[in-house]
Amino acid sequence: MYPLDTSTRRSIDVSLSESIDCFKPEIVHVTGARWPVVSRVDKLVRNLPWVLSFHNLPTFEAEFGRFYGCNRIYYYVRNARFFPNTLLWAMGLRRWRFARVICHSRRVQSRLVQFGCRREQIKLSPLGCLTNDSSPTCRADGASPFDAPSHPHLLTIAGIVHHKGLHDSLRAIANLAVDFPHFRYLIIGGRRDEAYASYLEDLVARLGLRFHVSLIYNASEELKWSALRDTDLYIQPSHEEGFCLTFLDAAMAVPRLLGTATGEIPFIAEKDPYCGVVAPKDVPGLRTNIIRLLKATISVRELEARRLRLREKYSWPAALHQLYSLYEELSRKAADRAGNVRLMNGSRELRLT
C-alpha cells in the first residue's frame, strides 16, 4: 500500500508520482477522492488510462448541520453553500481525460450525463448482494433486539444524518398505534451527526413515540442481522442515495419493504407486490404505504422469487467480472496505442536515415 498525502497540491504530486513509479500500474482507478486529488491525477497520469468511480455526485449526500427537519430550507441552503464545489466537479467531468467513469445506479448515471459527462464514457456497474445460503441472515442467531410482546416490527438501518430522512419516517408513524397499538420501530445506525441525533431523540419525545421507537447507535453486525431476521417491514426513507446496499440486503431478508425513489431503490423494488416506493420527503406517502404493506398477506413463493431475481440482477461475482473486463479492455487499448506509437516512431527513424 502506498499512502497518498493529500494535504497540499505539492504533496499530492509527490506521493502520486512515487506511488506510480513504485507500483508501475497499467491502470489507475480513482475512487472516493476529493476534487483536488482527481484534478492532479488528470495532470500527472498522462501515459496511463485512468478510471474515476462515483458513489454519488456533489452536493448529494453532503452534510450541512443546520435546519434539521425543515427539508426545503435545509437543501436550499446546503446546495447554495456547496455550489462552488458542484461547479468545479461539473467542469472537471467535461474536461478531464479519464477513460471511464464508473457508477453503481441508474440515478447517478443520469446525473453524470446532466453534469456534462458523455454517456459512452459511463460504465454502470451495480453492486451485489449476498448470493448464497451462508449469508449473515442465515447465521443470525443472536437475541432479537425487538421486545417480545411487540408486533409488528419496523426497522431502518442508516447513518444518523439528515439526508437519510429519518425524521420523515418518524412523522409517518406518528399515529400508527391507532392501527397497530403494539408496533415497534428500531432505527439502527452510526451517530455521524451528533446534533441531528439529538434532534431525532427530541422528535421521538414530541411525537409521543418513546414506547414505540428506539434509536440504537453503532450496533454490531450480529445485532443488525438479527434485527433484519425479525423485521416485518423495512423502511428506507432516504432523501439521497448513490445505491443503497442496505435496502438490497433487507430485500433478501425482510418480507415487506418501503423505500424512496433515490439510488437503486426503485429498481430493487420494481414489480414486487410487497415493496413500496414513494418520492423522497413524501411523509403522507410513507404513512399510506406503511399501513398498506403491514396489512398485506405474504406469499412465501413470491419472496423466494424476489430473492432469485435479486441474486441474478445484483451479484458480487458479476460486478467484479465487469470491473476486471473493463480493466482488460482499457489495458488492451493502451497497449495497442503504445504499439502504434512505436511503429510510427520506427517509421520516422527509417525515413530520417
pLDDT of 230 reads: 96
The DSSP secondary-structure symbol of 315 reads: B
Q: Is the pTM of this model over 0.85?
A: yes
- Is the CB of residue 40 less than 8 Å from the CB of residue 12? yes
Q: What is the pLDDT of residues 282-322, one digit of tens each?
A: 999 999 999 999 999 999 999 999 999 999 999 999 999 99
**What is the distance, to the nearest Å, from the Cα of residue 98 to the centroid of all Cα atoms in its chain?**
22
- CATH number for the region 9-125+316-348 comes to 3.40.50.2000
| 3 state SS of 15 | helix
pLDDT of 137 reads: 53
- Could you report how far apart the first and last alpha carbons of the chain are, in Å? 46
Neighbours of 316 (CB within 10 A): 12
pLDDT of 146 reads: 96
Q: What is the pLDDT of residues 227-274, one digit of tens each?
A: 999 999 999 999 999 999 999 999 999 999 999 999 999 999 999 999
CATH 3.40.50.2000 segments of the chain = 9-125+316-348, 136-313
Q: What is the pLDDT of residues 73-124, one digit of tens each?
A: 999 999 999 999 999 999 999 999 999 999 999 999 999 999 999 999 999 9
Mean pLDDT of 330-334: 92
Conformational region of residue 335, where left means phi above 0, alpha means psi within -120 to 50, and beta covers everything else: alpha
Beta strand pairing call for 213-217 and 275-278? unpaired
Beta-carbon-side half-sphere exposure of residue 91 (alpha carbons within 13 Å): 9
Q: What integer best gives the mean pLDDT of the chain? A: 91
Q: Could you give the CA distance from residue 184 to residue 215 in angstroms, rounded to a whole number? A: 11
- Is the CB of residue 226 less than 8 Å from the CB of residue 144? yes
Categorize the per-residue pLDDT at 177 as very low, low, confident or very high, splitting at 50, 70 and 90. very high
Environment class of 42 (CB within 10 Å of its CB; exposed 0-12, middle 13-18, buried 19+):
middle
Domain 136-313 has CATH 3.40.50.2000: yes
pLDDT of 208 reads: 97
pLDDT of 345 reads: 52
